[in-house]
Amino acid sequence: MADEVFLKLVGIKKSFGGVHALQGVDLEIRKGEIHCLAGENGCGKSTLIKAISGVHIPDEGSIRIDGEEMKNMKPMDAINRGIQVIYQDFAVFPNLTVAENIALNGELKDGVKRVSWRQIHKVAAEAMARVGVKIDPDIRLERLSVANKQLVAICRAIMNDARLLILDEPTTALTAREVESLWDIIRSLKEKGIAIMIVNHKLDEIYQIADRLTILRNGSNISTGAISEYDQERFTKDMTGRDIVQQKYQPAENKEEVLKVENLTRQGSFENVSFTLYKGDVLGITGLLGSGRGEIGEALFGLAPAQSGKIWLNGKEISIQSVSDAIRNEIGYVPEDRLTQGLFMDRSIRDNTIAASIRSYLKRGKLDEREMEEATERWIREIDIKAPSTRPPVRTLSGGNAQKVVIAKWLNTDPKLFILDGPTVGVDIGAKAEIHSILHDLASRGIGIIVISDDLPELVQNCNRILVMKDGRPSGILDNSIDEVSLGKMLIGA
Amino acid sequence: MNNERRVSLALTSTPMILIYVMVVFCVIAAIRQPAFLSPATLINLCRAGIFTMCFAICEMVVIISGGIDVSFPAIGCVAMYVPMYMYNNGMGVDSVFFFFGVAILIGLAFGILNGVLVAILKLPPLIATLATSSVASGGLIMLLGTREFTTLPPSLDWLYSINLLTYTDPATGFKYPLTILFLVPVILCIVVALVLRYTMLGRGLYAIGGDKNAARVAGFNVKKLQFTAYIFCSVMASATAMMYTTLMHSSTTTALMGEEMIIIAACVVGGCRLTGGHGSVGGTILGVLLITLVQNNLNMLGVPTSWQIFAVGLVLLLGAVLSSIQAKRIEKLGKI
């Protein structure tokens, strides 16, 4: 059973106006297996999913479901064959109840005109029982966490007799514990013989869940195999096509203080946080959700100022009670949710780059267009933002490039201290490495860098010191000789 | 969530607070003016609320679907003016069916126009219906002038004279009739409530108001649903406008202009969200009741009528503050 092939793609090609999105992809999904699809942004993952789900019809190649050749497959054909895709936005209705979200689509497909609420509740209860989740069916979806919204989407997909469930980057917005319970559910679906394809590019997560892995690069499948055949090195090489040498960051010894914090306290968030940041240091702050890790960053940037404690920046004692205090003291901050807090998505790269430093371009009541343009071009070059010009709106950029624009925005203010919360969330491996090397470069120039993150491999690789927070209290400052596993144990206090 | 929390949430929900405000209003009015407790007040309230109620239900349907319609007063004016103009110029027959039929056809035409602008050309609904409003209102004045018809044709006069019931005040001998047309908003509310709750059409309107893209993926015909909402709004508003002519003995090119804001306000006070996807017939009824109560009975509280607009403003403020507090409270409960 496990080796029977459910879906087989051979030589799938698809171009959009001269751009070859897929250049001959082979893929085989077996019944009841968990198959991960990995690849950097722009490698053709989403085009491939759309070809499988009938949204795009391939230019060349064949798609076989259960051995039967599918010609000109439409979305409805794919659904009728049991292929269900859960996109990143889940396509759920925030204003409707859980029960309705689960049942409505199926009722609609059956051509039901009158809505029976009893039927809706019955369908929803059945779906939740099958998937093994318990959510109050009468609650509106806008009240649910991302993880639970995702579960609702999974319940809905299962209701339509799914045989292959495709999840597009399902873990990006989940906490570690939520990822765990998602994996449990995925495994129980696998037990029921449903094939699962997960798009993901975090190797540690792929190890936890996948049976087999396919890596896609530039529209071709580079390799496919059992998960045991891959180690970190091969994974990275197949993903990026180059060897990314992962070396722990170790700056030269330097006793010049950049930032010193003593007994920083904010009631209900964190207490008695003290640390010193020397020239060249990249300081990591980590901890579980709610441990106060993010709040320290917010306090240093004045978003939610500390109530007591002392802060020295470059030897001078400063007081930060508001964001404008922080900006006056030349502190930059990249928030965790850059899409809603750090960027104007519909404005150009240039407008975003100069957004925090716009005052310096105001000359005699007019903005100096040329200088703004030059500054933006300089940053595009310097930190290698992949964009044709300074004009395209940030919305059109990939996650990694968008994050670089946020970084450029603050670098353009010439900060003395730069705080980044989750700097590589939703960023692929290649861009991640570039962002890290930018941070190291900044640190060596004497800018204080604080990275707040729950990505343990990232912290161990890139921070030479790590402050661990637990329940609002610092539980230790480590150097980076620690490995991920013991760091993870320290987080949960084991 | 435990039951106590549930009850306390229900007792302080927006509809309950609207009811409390109305009760307080009535108690104060009854203390200051015992005459307020007379059935005549109720009949007056019902009469005064007919148009507001019908218009509010129309607007509510559009708001639920994620749009907004500010053109219904102008469309209503065209729909009340054109049939009367035709009749007074010897074109047309003296029949209730003629007057309401022409009004409804006019509403249908403008509803389709709004549908095309919003669903096909994808214009922002506010701008699209604002344009429709100006075109309708301006076109009417340009083509047919600005007369005022104050004599009803016999058929409409007959409709006017049918009453559901008449209350005679025993002290003064004044008669308070309640027109048969009061049944229109009553039936409309029942039908719309049932359609919204128990048909795929109704759930579809909520679905596209909640997330258009998700609705498309689920297989709803988004364009058709948008058309339905705008056409329903225009057609029903046109019929309501003809009722206005019948009951007020007046048909002018501007009689309803400016109504849209108070109607939208009534919807919002009653729990509709301008972002779409939220709203109910029950809530809208409460919103309309409160606004009608304040508009018509302020003098009972001993407040001069010149304060009316100010008082209605306060009601709106109350509604806005309520929904914002409610949103914050729900947010405080945290995600589940």
With left for phi above 0 and alpha for psi between -120 and 50, is residue A459 left, alpha or beta?
Answer: alpha
Both A146 and A30 in one domain: the answer is: yes
Q: Which residues of A touch B276 (CB under 8 A)?
A: 95
Flag if A148 and B207 touch (Cβ within 8 Å).
no
- Does the residue A469 lie in any domain? yes
Same domain membership, residue A359 and residue A302: yes
Touching B: A residues 392-421, CB under 8 Å: none
Does the pLDDT of residue B1 top 60, yes or no?
Answer: no
CB contact under 8 A, A114 and B209: no
Q: Using an 8 Å Cβ cutoff, are B260 and B137 in contact? A: no
What pLDDT does A3 receive? Answer: 64
Q: Are residues A220 and A98 in the same domain?
A: yes
Domain B3-328 of CATH type 1.10.3470: yes
- Domain end position, chosen among A192, A215, A240: A240
Contact B333 A115 (CB under 8 A): no
> Mean per-residue pLDDT for A162-189?
87
Q: Would an 8 Å CB–CB cutoff place A94 in contact with chain B?
A: yes
Does residue A51 contact residue A58 with C-beta atoms inside 8 Å? yes
pLDDT band at B231 (very low <50, low <70, confident <90, very high): very high
What pLDDT sits at residue A97?
94
Q: Does A91 touch chain B (CB under 8 A)?
A: yes
Is some CB atom of chain B closer than 8 A to the CB atom of A93? yes
Q: Are residues A51 and A141 in the same domain?
A: yes
- pLDDT digits 0-9 by tens, B149-167: 988 899 999 999 999 888 8
Nearest neighbour of B198 by CB, restricted to A105, A114, A136: A114
Taking the C-alpha atoms of residue A279 and residue A416, their distance in angstroms, rounded to an integer, is 11
Q: What percent of chain B has pLDDT over 90?
A: 58
pLDDT tier at B109, thresholds 50, 70, 90? very high
pLDDT at A375: 87
Residues of B at the A interface, defined by Cβ within 8 angstroms: 197-203, 206-207, 209-211, 213-215, 217-220, 276-278, 330, 333, 335-336
Q: Tokens for B52, please give them.
A: 């507001």
Cα(B26)–Cα(B298) distance, integer angstroms:
10
The alpha carbon of residue B64 is apart from the nearest alpha carbon of chain A, in Å, by 10
Name which of B209, B218, B333 is nearest A105 (Cβ-Cβ): B218
Beta strand A5-16 pairing with A19-30? antiparallel
Residue A12 lies in a domain: yes
How many Cβ pairs within 8 Å bridge chains A and B?
70
Q: CA-to-CA distance for B13 and B134, rounded, in angstroms?
A: 38
Q: Which of B222, B240, B234, B228 is nearest to B195 (CA)?
A: B228
Interface test with B, best of A55, A101, A114, A115 (most B CBs within 10 A): A115
Residue B135: predicted pLDDT: 95
- The tens digit of pLDDT for each residue in A323-381 reads 888 888 888 888 877 666 678 888 888 888 888 888 888 888 888 888 888 889 888 88
State the smallest CA–CA distance between residue A472 and chain B in angstroms: 20
The answer to whether the Cβ–Cβ distance between A96 and B202 falls below 8 Å is no
Same structural domain, A226 and A143:
yes
Give yes or no: residues A182 and A294 share one domain.
no
- Which chain B residues are within 8 Å of A83, Cβ to Cβ? none
Nearest CA to CA, how far is B208 from chain A (Å)? 9
Query: What is the rounded CA–CA span in Å between residue B237 and residue B229?
Result: 12
% of chain B at pLDDT higher than 70: 99
User: Average pLDDT, stretch B308-328?
Assistant: 82
Cα separation of B116 and A376, whole Å? 42
A276 and A368 housed in the same domain: yes
Q: Are residues A276 and A225 in the same domain?
A: no
Structure tokens given for A94: 């925030």
CA B211 to chain centre: 25
Q: Give the HSE-up count for residue A365: Cα atoms under 13 Å, Cβ half-sphere.
A: 0
- Judge whether A246 lies within some domain: no
Residue A444 lies in a domain: yes
**Domain stops at, among A240, A273, A304:** A240
Query: pLDDT at position A313, please?
Result: 87
Q: Residues A339, A206: one domain? A: no
User: Which residue is listed with tokens 């929803």?
Assistant: A124
> Tokens at residue B250, please?
């007046």
- Tell me the pairing of strands A448-452 and A417-421: parallel
Inspect the interface and report whether the beta carbons of B203 and A91 lie closer than 8 Å: no
- Over 90: is that where the pLDDT of B124 sits? yes
Q: Cβ of B219 and A94 within 8 Å?
A: no
A250 within some domain: no
Q: Does A290 touch chain B (CB under 8 A)?
A: no
Between A89, A107, A144, which is nearest B335 by CB? A144
pLDDT at site B65: 96
Give yes or no for residue B82 having a pLDDT over 80: yes
Q: Is residue A252 part of a domain?
A: no
pLDDT band at A243 (very low <50, low <70, confident <90, very high): low
* Beta-bridge mates of residue A363: A366
State the Cα torsion B215-B218-B223-B225 to the nearest 10°: -70
Which own/partner pairs from A107-113 qualify as long-range (CB within 8 Å, at least 24 positions apart)? Answer: A107/B200, A108/B200, A108/B218, A108/B219, A108/B220, A109/A79, A109/A160, A109/B219, A112/B200, A113/B199, A113/B200, A113/B201
**A289 interfaces chain B, CB cutoff of 8 Å:** no
Q: What is the pLDDT of residues B237-271, one digit of tens each?
A: 999 999 999 999 999 999 999 889 889 989 998 88
What would the pLDDT profile of A121-143 be if each residue is shown by its tens digit?
A: 999 999 998 888 889 999 999 88
Our count of domains for chain A comes to 2
What per-residue confidence (pLDDT) applies to B174? 87
User: Residues A396, A445: one domain?
Assistant: yes
What digits encode the pLDDT tens for the residues A83-92? 998 888 888 9
Q: Please tell me the distance from the alpha carbon of residue B7 to that of residue A490, in angstroms, as a whole number.
A: 43
**Where is the domain boundary, A185, A211, A240?**
A240
Is A115 close to B218, i.e. CB distance below 8 A?
Answer: no
Q: Residue B51's pLDDT is what? A: 94
User: Quick one: what percent of chain A has pLDDT higher than 70?
Assistant: 96
Domain borders along chain B are 3-328
pLDDT of residue A2: 46
Structure tokens at A27: 């893929």
**Residue A43 carries which DSSP code?**
S
- Residue A11 counted as domain residue: yes
Would you say residue A1 has pLDDT above 50?
Answer: no
CB contact under 8 A, A145 and B336: yes
Does the CB of A109 have a partner CB in chain B at under 8 Å?
yes
Give the domain range for residue A475: 257-492
Banded pLDDT at B182 (limits 50, 70, 90): very high
| Cross-chain Cβ contact B200/A112 below 8 Å | yes
Q: What is the CATH number of the domain that holds A89?
A: 3.40.50.300
What backbone phi and psi angles, to 5 degrees, belong to B75? -65, -40
Residue-level pLDDT at B121:
95
Q: What part of A 117-156 touches B (C-beta under 8 Å)?
A: 117, 135-136, 139, 143-145, 148
pLDDT for position A242: 67
Mean pLDDT of chain A: 85
